[in-house]
Amino acid sequence: MDADQKYDTTPPILTSLSVSEYTDAEKPNRDFKKFTVEVDNLAIDDDGNSPIRDIWVSTIDPNCRAVRFDIRDEADGLLNSETSQYVATIPFLKQQLGNYQITQIVVNDHALNASLYSQKAESTHPSISDIFSVGSTSIVSCPHFNNYAADIDINVPVGDTYVGDFSATVSTNDSVTYKLERASDSDFDIDLLSISESGEVSFLDTVTEATIGGKFRIFATSASNSELVRELTVTIIVSAE
């Protein structure tokens, strides 16, 4: 590390992330997405400020697999530490078209200070759980839960019945089937819950102080391709509020 990197102890902060359309006149039949990341490379009480090293965006792809997009990595070389915008134009193959959901974003600098954003991390960001489409929206894709990108803890107050909206996005010509299952590591009684055709989960009866929370699993399956399934583990915490 040089002197600036050695005395830089403040992680950079993600300000914004946008995923937009991009076309290349030389490749009119190729699908692209333009990722634009805005970063605040803070230097709070630091003697130095090191350049951004890595930025990556983790997603679940149209086949329900984890895929990472590198917006910047250390092989790109050093930029000025005051650089705040980073752009990557990423091409997609035909078999990669469909809907993607953002699950995690990581930004770090050359002093190895890092900020990690995800649904259950210490920090989150409005872009987490965003869904973007590559190519036609009619391409059969993995169901992505609109409000949740990963396993989640949910507080349900005494006196309520509502747990959450687990509706999922699929292609324009597809639909979703939902299913609840017991979690293998929890004694939670799944029979206390119901799920609607639109993916809303509720208790059958009003939650009381005697209601015991716990874990359950929820599955969203594409009606057009039963191999495309998203799963979340939900932990219900009964609160006195």
Is the pLDDT at 41 greater than 80? The verdict is: yes
Q: What would the two tokens of residue 170 be?
A: 């699929």
Give the whole-angstrom CA distance, residue 233 versus residue 220.
12
The stretch 118-138 carries a mean pLDDT of 89
User: pLDDT tens-digit profile of 55-74?
Assistant: 999 999 999 999 999 999 87
The model's confidence at residue 110, banded by pLDDT at 50, 70 and 90, is confident
Q: In 44-66, which positions are buried (b, 16+ CB within 10 angstroms) versus exposed (e)? A: eeeebbbbbbbbbbbbbbbebee
User: pLDDT tens-digit profile of 133-172?
Assistant: 999 999 999 999 999 999 999 999 999 999 999 999 999 9
Is the pLDDT at 47 greater than 90? The verdict is: no
What domains can you pick out in the chain, each with its CATH number? 3-134 (2.60.40), 144-239 (2.60.40.60)
Amino acid at residue number 30: R
Give the chain's radius of gyration (CA, Å).
Answer: 21
Query: Parallel, antiparallel, or unpaired for β 162-165 and 176-182?
Result: unpaired
